[in-house]
Amino acid sequence: MPIASSASALAALLLGVTAAPPLAREPSAGEAATSVSYRVEGSRTLLSIRTGTGPRRALRVRRDATVSPTAEPTSVRVIGELEGAAVILVDTYPSIPGGMSYCQAGEESFLRVISVRRSPPVETFRAKVGSCREDIELASPGIEWAAGSATLRIHWLSGPTGKPETRTVRIGSDGKPVHSGER
């Protein structure tokens, strides 16, 4: 009932009660939950990664010249995980503005595979998956992670070559790419 819903929402607002945001997805049985936090250090981003109940481990990752050296990420999303071996994530930043309103509100996104087999973690794969400055755009769905086969597929409408492309990357048990192919 709309009136009851409005009254409940108003009561919650007056009492200062807020609903918890919904989870993007809950880990399935046996799957480790991964959390990533970040901060900017100079012209790099410091990612702090925790898999399961293990300790937080940090690594610094580079951005390219399309991102301001002092820009904070607007988002860091975990795409998938190869338990105990790798975390796949996408970090997104505002584009450096260009003249004539070019990329004033654009974004630059990087897909990264981080090997968590040793400490500190190591970035084993990086691909630019979105860029206002370089006209890179993902298709829909743009990034697919198949945990069973440890395979990552990237589908671009306009890829790094300037044309539509698909790249397939299989991740080994050490968190490193075993095979990378284009189609």
Mean pLDDT of all residues in 123-149? 94
pLDDT > 80? residue 11? no
CA 179 to chain centre: 21
Residue 29, pLDDT score: 42
Interval 163-178: pLDDT, tens: 999 999 999 999 999 8
Residue 87, pLDDT score: 94
For residues 156 and 137, is the Cβ–Cβ distance under 8 A? Answer: yes
Q: What are the distances in angstroms from CA 66 to CA 96, 104, 176?
A: 6, 12, 26
pTM beyond 0.85: the answer is no
d(CA 59, CA 132): 26
DSSP letter at 2 equals: H
Q: What percent of the chain has pLDDT over 70?
A: 78
Residue 31, pLDDT score: 46
Interval 36-82: pLDDT, tens: 888 888 888 999 998 877 888 899 999 999 998 889 999 999 999 99
